[in-house]
A and B are shown apart, each in its own frame.
Chain A
């Protein structure tokens, strides 16, 4: 592992010539991309009403011009930077900058009201940093053996694994189970639009030439997450109360530190475990960690009134999960959540097929990305604590100036992917669909996951049936495939049980 991390470190620190204003400089460009990603991520995370999915979709085109490693480092930086930034908004404004920091609002904001905003921010930052380090180490430790396992998978196993991944994502998320599964199916069908690779037949294109190439996932992500979010945000009048006055005393007391340690550790463990699971990710991790802490803490009476544990645990958990959710992506090539689905797209655009092969064919990229995550987490702590003042200023920018900017970046981003105006119109259509889904209580994340996994599923499904000569039982006779499908069935049954259903709803409405 050490030698591998060494490869990564040299890749991240490598100096490359770069021409800036006509001067040829030698700069560690990957570090620059990492810093840029972390910075932009924090910025986006701080702004309420702009999620990481929309952000990554929006900035994806800007990374096309970069080399593959640089582009991925920057996108990863945006993702974990957003987790950090989201907590700042949650603590200071009582608005979650991210869904994963919803629970941080509860105690973080109460701490701010008592004049302990600085301490809450430091706690969140230190907890996140610790969790980020652990998550990255886990990623480095678990990736090689998992990738080894993935090599033994045939198409039937891959298909079953994807089925499990999709159902798992639904089982662990909030909302109606039936509707979410329907959204997955709709996503898969959307992903199949265009020319069939095997037969050349055009599917669902309705004779529109622009559709024969398929629908880009950037189009779907920006429409459903970007535009629809803007519309729903605008429906509500904005009310913000920013606590800017007392951010001066940043340092937690000795007593605070003592109370922080156990929640941070528990949050990290829970977050790391949930991050690997399909559909887990940062949101569930932070909710779970808060609920757990409230139950086991001896200060449970203080929860809801500014308990430091209520900030430390969920913040560590969401950052740990953000790191470990890269494990299924990098080893199996299967995205566990919507953000990772976009990373799949980003890798494919750079001509890298995500999966177990990346580690062996492209070790510099693989280990470079992992090391960059650790470096990025360090940068976030070093950068963000002194920059808090600037982020607070940013919070006072009203939404009415922000959302036109979001629209502008989305439009330009979509256009530049294919240099085609048709995609802009298509995104507008998906924006309307996204708004409709929101009103109907259907979630966008399963749609996007199905969209990205759909073509992969079909390919493996066909290959499996080709090998078995059309015998559908192949999925049930191969032991690994069968067990994956059984796990899926058990998950669905458990979630559908009435008693569990009530518990699940309770977990997502924790107060």
Chain B
């Protein structure tokens, strides 16, 4: 009963299931299915800004990271326009600071580390 016992058991079941799924889809009776098309631009414009946010937050602070997140991710929409996006960025950033930093007192660095404040 080492640490690997249970994971190995579950992993084997998973492997068998994968095998079974492959067999059923390769069998003659199986209906042909196609994987729905990926919309790569949307995927990149949503996941990308989140990754950037994770990388930016600690060195550059919450405010800059939030503004970046809102503006870049808004670009994924079909109807992107600068003015409402900027407004949205300002509103959301202020809201977050009021709710999370001021009311809930969560610890965030607000500004880039080299400007000071640190959080």
In contact, B88 and A235 (Cβ under 8 angstroms): no
Alpha-carbon separation in the docked complex, A215 to B5 (Å) = 20
In contact, A408 and B92 (Cβ under 8 angstroms): yes
- Cβ of A435 within 8 Å of any chain B Cβ, yes or no, is yes
Residues A178 and B47 in contact in the complex (CB < 8 Å), given A189-B10, A192-B7? no
- Cβ of A466 within 8 Å of any chain B Cβ, yes or no, is yes
In contact, B46 and A230 (Cβ under 8 angstroms): yes
Alpha-carbon separation in the docked complex, A148 to B29 (Å) = 50
Q: CB-CB contacts of A98-111 with B at 8 A, as 1s and 0s?
A: 00000000000000
In contact, B69 and A407 (Cβ under 8 angstroms): yes
User: Which of B21, B24, B77, B84 neighbours the largest number of chain A CB atoms within 10 Å of its CB?
Assistant: B77
Q: Which residues of B contact A466 (CB under 8 A)?
A: 1
Alpha-carbon separation in the docked complex, A407 to B35 (Å) = 26
Residues A428 and B51 in contact in the complex (CB < 8 Å), given A182-B14, A192-B7? yes
Residues A234 and B69 in contact in the complex (CB < 8 Å), given A65-B104, A185-B13? no
- Cβ of B55 within 8 Å of any chain A Cβ, yes or no, is yes
Interface residues on B, range: 35 or more
Q: Which of B4, B42, B54 sits near A428, CB closer than 8 Å?
A: B54
In contact, A416 and B47 (Cβ under 8 angstroms): no
In contact, B6 and A192 (Cβ under 8 angstroms): yes
Q: Which residues of A contact B84 (CB under 8 A)?
A: 400-401
Q: Which residues of A contact B3 (CB under 8 A)?
A: 196, 198-199, 201, 203
A209, chain B: closest CB distance, angstroms: 16
Q: Show 29 residue pairs from A and B whose CB-CB distance is below 8 angstroms, ordered by the A residue.
A: A65-B105, A179-B21, A182-B18, A186-B14, A196-B3, A201-B3, A203-B4, A230-B46, A234-B76, A400-B77, A400-B80, A403-B73, A404-B70, A404-B92, A408-B92, A408-B96, A410-B50, A411-B53, A415-B54, A416-B100, A421-B55, A427-B50, A428-B47, A428-B51, A428-B54, A431-B50, A454-B10, A457-B6, A461-B6
Query: Which 9 A-B residue pairs are closest in the complex by CB-CB distance?
Result: A424-B54, A400-B77, A196-B3, A185-B14, A201-B3, A182-B17, A428-B50, A425-B54, A404-B70
Q: Beyond the given A186-B14, A196-B3, A425-B54, please list 7 additional residue pairs across the A-B interface where CB-CB is below 8 A.
A: A400-B80, A404-B88, A408-B92, A416-B100, A419-B107, A424-B53, A440-B35
Mark A residues whose CB is within 8 Å of B: 61-62, 65, 178-179, 181-182, 185-186, 188-189, 192, 196, 198-199, 201, 203-204, 227, 230-231, 234-235, 237, 398-401, 403-405, 407-408, 410-412, 415-416, 419, 421-425, 427-428, 431-432, 435, 439-440, 454, 457-458, 461-462, 465-466, 470
